[in-house]
Amino acid sequence: MDISGVSPELIALRVAEQEKVSTRLEAQAGLVKETLDQQANAVMQLMEAVPLPEGRSGHNVNLTV
């Protein structure tokens, strides 16, 4: 690719724009990760809040109808 006809100022502008886009994407990815971590923690808290069955309750399934 020949970029000899492109001004250095234009190249600098494009590089700066690309860095802004990259920074924005990194921030969005961080936000998505944080949201997923919060959801995972909420699910774990809900699962831990469910009491365990006592004895043999919940182990047998009656399939007759």
Which of 32, 53, 35 lies closest to 43, judged by CA?
Answer: 35
Q: Answer yes or no: are the C-beta atoms of 3 and 12 closer than 8 Å.
A: no
Q: Note the pTM of the prediction, 2 decimals.
A: 0.58
Could you tell me the pLDDT band of residue 54, with boundaries at 50, 70 and 90? confident
pLDDT score for 61: 73
Number of H-type helices and E-type strands within the chain: 1, 0
Annotate 4-41 with b (16+ C-beta within 10 A) or e (fewer): eeeeeeeeeeeeeeeeeeeeeeeeeeeeeeeeeeeeee
pLDDT score for 57: 62
Could you tell me the pLDDT band of residue 27, with boundaries at 50, 70 and 90? very high
